[in-house]
Amino acid sequence: MRTQVAIIGAGPSGLLLGQLLAKAGIHAIIVERQTGDHVLSRIRAGILEQVCIDLLDEAGVGERMHKEGLIHRGIELLYNGKRNRIDMETLTGGKKVMVYGQTELTKDLMDARVAADLHTVYGAHGVAVHDFDSAKPRVTYEKDGKSYEIDCDFIAGCDGFHGVCRASVPRRSITEYEKVYPFGWLGLLSDTPPVHDELIYINSPRGFALCSQRSKTRSRYYLQVPLTDKVEEWTDEAFWQELRLRLDEKARDHLVTGQSIEKSIAPLRSFVTEPLRFGRMFLAGDAGHIVPPTGAKGLNLAATDVKYLSHALIEYYTDKSESGINAYSERCLKRIWKGERFSWWFTHLMHRFPNEGTIEAKFQEAELDYLIHSEAGSRMIAENYVGLPLEFGG
């Protein structure tokens, strides 16, 4: 087979890149090791910044998002038993975020790809990338007992943290930065109305909690738990009881509980790869960087990667220019490190860390009090949460 761009991974990054390239008349094949059903079964966050919203519109898949997505103009921080609102819209001159589940976003992209009869390979085994440091990169894989090879001009590694693309880079050519946090997030998804119409971030003596949502009838809640906890040890009843203990009185009164649809424990890490380009292979999204979910940056940083990469490839094919390709890694990393910083900072602000004494809790309380009562402090949270301007972030 022959294509212009071989995209490894059919998550949101790979699908969005494929759609943007197709709109520009650039041929791309997507290769995914999992089945399509498995890709859609993955539960992920769904806080979209304007950059991500605009890209989905550019890709022609934003119609359902605009109908069903929930606009959020602020968030609430709960500490010392009281809730305080960050008015993002006012503090940022009108900027907002949208709640739209990543599963729904992925389905929209999948449906658009099928409707356009674009080539996607699901259930590919033994995916490997070859010769990406040459002018003739290749991708090989097996499916249904047969071996396949794709000749291409470029490879886009959108295959996640555990994917083959980053793992195929010689260790001497790559630098990896990583911080693993000493706790995880126990998440529960339920078909219950959200406890509040905006997200509530909770700093509690018992640990962090988050009240999030997917729609007006589906809620997503999280609890900070030790990494030694097992999800099967947490009954629904135990989860709801612990969440109540971390909420304020008003939220407890409004909390509607129910049977979980999905429950899982996710570890938290900060991770960045430098660079993001290796010859004719590029890393995008989780293949190149991971953030703690506290700041809702993961999907949005991935979308920015895709924006820069799609524009660079389109420029290469339409204008015969390599300037965007050459600048890809540096541009992305400027924005990535700013997103990493905010996610790291917000995680430290809201969580209780093992082996830290009571003085750290007092530091957190004092900083939260400053941030809430200082317009400059509140604006710093707001402008980072809604997404830094592209010209500032890279």
Query: Domain spans of the chain?
Result: 5-70+99-177+269-353
Catalytic-role residue among 72, 95, 289, 351: 72
Catalytic-role residue among 79, 308, 316, 385: 385
**Which residue, 204, 188, 193, 195, is CA-closest to 253?**
195
> Each residue of 107-146: b (16+ CB within 10 Å) or e?
bbbbebbeeeebebbbebeebebeebeeeebbbebebeee
- CB-count burial class (<10 Å; 0-12, 13-18, 19+) for 392: exposed
Angle between helices 298-319 and 50-58 (to 10 degrees): 40
Structure token digits, residue 150: 């794709």
Tokens 């979209």 belong to: 48
Rounded to an integer, what distance in angstroms lies between the CA atom of residue 209 and that of residue 227? Answer: 15
Rounded to an integer, what distance in angstroms lies between the CA atom of residue 120 and that of residue 180? Answer: 34
Rounded to an integer, what distance in angstroms lies between the CA atom of residue 95 and that of residue 166? Answer: 35
Q: For residues 182-203, give the mean pLDDT.
A: 97
> How high is the pLDDT of residue 189?
95
Catalytic-role residue among 137, 194, 292, 293: 293
Catalytic-role residue among 79, 100, 141, 201: 201
Structure token digits, residue 253: 């009164």
> How high is the pLDDT of residue 153?
98
Which of helix, strand or coil describes residue 185?
strand
pLDDT band for position 262 (50/70/90)?
A: very high
Which of helix, strand or coil describes residue 131?
coil
pLDDT per position as a tens digit, 147-179: 999 999 999 999 999 999 999 999 999 999 999
Q: For residues 380-392, give the mean pLDDT.
A: 89
pLDDT per position as a tens digit, 66-123: 999 999 999 999 999 999 999 999 999 999 999 998 899 999 999 999 999 999 999 9
> How high is the pLDDT of residue 57?
96
Residue 317 annotated in active site: no
Residue 297 annotated in active site: yes
> How high is the pLDDT of residue 394?
52
> How high is the pLDDT of residue 390?
80
Q: Where are the alpha helices (DSSP H) in 160-246?
A: 164-167, 236-246
The residues, ordered by sequence, that sit 6+ positions from 343 with a Cβ below 8 Å of its Cβ are 270, 291, 292, 293, 294, 295, 297
Rounded to an integer, what distance in angstroms lies between the CA atom of residue 18 and that of residue 138? Answer: 18
CATH of 5-70+99-177+269-353, one of 3.30.390.30, 1.10.150.570, 3.30.1950.10, 3.50.50.60: 3.50.50.60
Amino acid at 233: E
Residue 370 annotated in active site: no
Residue 385 annotated in active site: yes
Could you list the beta-strand ranges (E) of the chain: 5-8, 28-31, 47-48, 70-72, 74-79, 82-87, 97-99, 120-121, 125-130, 138-143, 146-151, 154-157, 175-190, 200-203, 209-213, 219-225, 260-274, 277-278, 281-283, 289-290
Catalytic-role residue among 196, 289, 297, 307: 297
Rounded to an integer, what distance in angstroms lies between the CA atom of residue 268 and that of residue 248? Answer: 25
Residue 222 annotated in active site: no
